[in-house]
Amino acid sequence: MNSLDLMNKVLSMEIGDRIPFCPAIYEHKGFLIGKTPSEICRDPDLLVEGLLAEYERYKPDFLTVGIDVYNVEAEALGCKIVYFDDSPDVPGVEDYPIKNLADIDKLKIPDPTKDGRMPLYLEAAKKLHEKVGHEIKIRGAITGPFSLASELMGAENFIVMTMQDPQYTVKLMEFTARVAAAFGKAFIDIGIDPIIFDSRAMPPLCSPQIFQDIVSKVYRRILIPELKKAGAKQIPLIIGGDTTPILDAIIDTDTTQILCDFEGDIELFKKKAIDHNLPMRVNVDPRLLHLGPIDKIQDFTMNILNKCWDHPGFILGTGVAAYDCPPEHIDAVRACLDKDYKNWVPTRPIFKQQRQQTEAIVIEEEPGYPEDLEPVLRELAEAIEEGEEDDVVDLVEEALNDDIPPGEIVDRAMIPAMDVIGYRFAQKQLFVPEMLISARAMSEGLKILRPLIAKTGAKPVGRVLLGTVKGDIHDIGKNLVGMMLEGAGFEILDLGVNVPVERFIAALKENDIHMIGMSALLTTTMNYMGRVIEALKDEGMRDTVKVLIGGAPINEKFCDKIDADYYADSAADGVIAAKQALADLKAMGISA
């Protein structure tokens, strides 16, 4: 049975003669042929070369025509994409066309044969189909309606809109579903089924309620029927992350194949897939795939195989392979299939229903507020929890009228409210949209407090460069630190969020800076601070500038580990640290 015959069987839930393999290779195609993602995503011949290299090297059972999947339709609709010709970074959206709701009406469905890079992908798909379409299943990547909407108006704005304006959310998603259908039809016209990617809709970015009430219905009403009408036989829907909370709603979209990403509840996915007669791909963790070691990758793979091998529609997959993922790591996943399972398959038993084991959830205590909290501050905290911006503004003013000092309003009501939100998020009681709405409400309150906290003196005592490091967009804490430092007489140059090393270094070169304050709220981004410090050393600047760091996951030990100078766990302590830094600089003969 060749790969194509196998796939036709497995996708119809019939037992094939082996388990199919579907590694997720996008930017890594570039690595295989020595080109950057930005080069291959703009040249159909290079794209085909990369796809053929993937086929040759890993012998997958699917080839997906796509690199920077989420940018293609977005670019055709007016998003500005930034390309990186000399680096392996994946191109990204830099600016988007929907700035206010009226802009939605101005958008027109693009023509896939003419607009943006859509024709390029169609050309590559056609060439690939001619070369290997007789022996392997080829699929054209299209962006799902939630993800495209979030590209078109900026993820943060779209997420807030999903909570606050269901009518416009539906309107925009009906439009983006029609765009996806148009691109999908163009692939179908050249003999290739589409595959939908919609990972921006994963929980907790999209709340399960919104997925069920809005997203799933747009799929069921518009996208899936239109693709079926155009002749699609298979319409897989790929949403990464732990989609267990939205599994039923994903099945309700009418997709023909589901994905259980590495964090998902495999047993539950398998049971539901069997109940609904759906093929299911299960992924190996992409971080493990990248970092190894090989024996851990194989343990992870074997665990998936042991759980899923008797599901006739099971496909072994991986999360997206990083650009420079060692190819032998991907080979190691495939080797598990070849070695251990090829002889088992013909006797695979019919799946027997398994009882789902539910884990007990340990509920720790929710953070609270001081017992003696003034009623107005309690109401303020609750308004932040609820994300009621207008109430927050009124209550901050009321607290000020009651002569409560600005610092106390922040420390006793506003920061504890964010802690409550963070706890509920960790407990999966709420999701990113709610967290974002609370953050916005808090920021509105801080706008009123800012001039009161940051009373600037005549001559700055020192200049501080502030920024939240690359990969991280949390800025409330950093902004508070900036306000308090301003209040203590420092001049602040704030680089904002998601700041790469190069911008820190360039700003240091262009300005007379005494200290740099970095913020990180995620365990995945805190290490980036160390990279900035390494760059300071490489540039010979480490001895002339002091480094302050902060953010919820940071501690003294981490500060020592990355060779920063001071750590502070609050804005007030940040001021003390900054004053200490000035004194230390002075002792070194460097004065502000």
> Which residues here bind ligand B12, judged by CB under 6 A?
204-205, 415, 418-419, 421-422, 425-426, 432, 435-436, 439, 471-478, 480-481, 517-519, 521-523, 548-553, 568-571, 574, 577
| 271 vs 478, beta carbon nearer ligand B12 | 478
| 499 vs 518, beta carbon nearer ligand B12 | 518
Q: Which candidate, 336, 318, 444, 420, places its Cα nearest to that of 28?
A: 318
* Distance of alpha carbon 326 from alpha carbon 341, whole angstroms: 24
| 163 vs 476, beta carbon nearer ligand B12 | 476
Q: Which candidate, 37, 26, 145, places its Cα nearest to that of 81?
A: 37
| 136 vs 521, beta carbon nearer ligand B12 | 521
CB of residue 444 vs ligand B12: minimum separation in angstroms?
A: 12
* Distance of alpha carbon 4 from alpha carbon 130, whole angstroms: 14
| Bridge pairing between strands 92-95 and 137-143 | unpaired
Beta strands in 511-560 (DSSP E): 515-519, 546-550
CB of residue 289 vs ligand B12: minimum separation in angstroms?
A: 20
Retrieve residue 177's tokens: 């579903």
Neighbours of 1 (CB within 10 A): 11
CB of residue 475 vs ligand B12: minimum separation in angstroms?
A: 4
* Distance of alpha carbon 333 from alpha carbon 337, whole angstroms: 7
Q: Report the phi/psi class of residue 553: left, alpha or beta, with left for phi > 0 and alpha for psi in -120 to 50.
A: alpha
Retrieve residue 326's tokens: 């060692």
* Distance of alpha carbon 559 from alpha carbon 537, whole angstroms: 16
Compute CA 413 distance to the chain's CA centroid, rounded to the nearest angstrom: 30
| 222 vs 430, beta carbon nearer ligand B12 | 430
| 356 vs 427, beta carbon nearer ligand B12 | 427
CB of residue 473 vs ligand B12: minimum separation in angstroms?
A: 4
CB of residue 540 vs ligand B12: minimum separation in angstroms?
A: 23
CB of residue 571 vs ligand B12: minimum separation in angstroms?
A: 4
| 270 vs 424, beta carbon nearer ligand B12 | 424
* Distance of alpha carbon 28 from alpha carbon 165, whole angstroms: 39
φ, ψ of residue 93 in degrees (nearest 5): -80, 130
Q: Using alpha carbons only, what angle is made at residue 212 by residues 281 and 168, rounded to the nearest 5 degrees?
A: 120
CB of residue 236 vs ligand B12: minimum separation in angstroms?
A: 23
CB of residue 118 vs ligand B12: minimum separation in angstroms?
A: 28
Retrieve residue 202's tokens: 């994963």
Q: Which candidate, 257, 298, 263, 297, places its Cα nearest to that of 280?
A: 257
| 42 vs 440, beta carbon nearer ligand B12 | 440
* Distance of alpha carbon 556 from alpha carbon 173, whole angstroms: 46
CB of residue 1 vs ligand B12: minimum separation in angstroms?
A: 41
| 40 vs 469, beta carbon nearer ligand B12 | 469
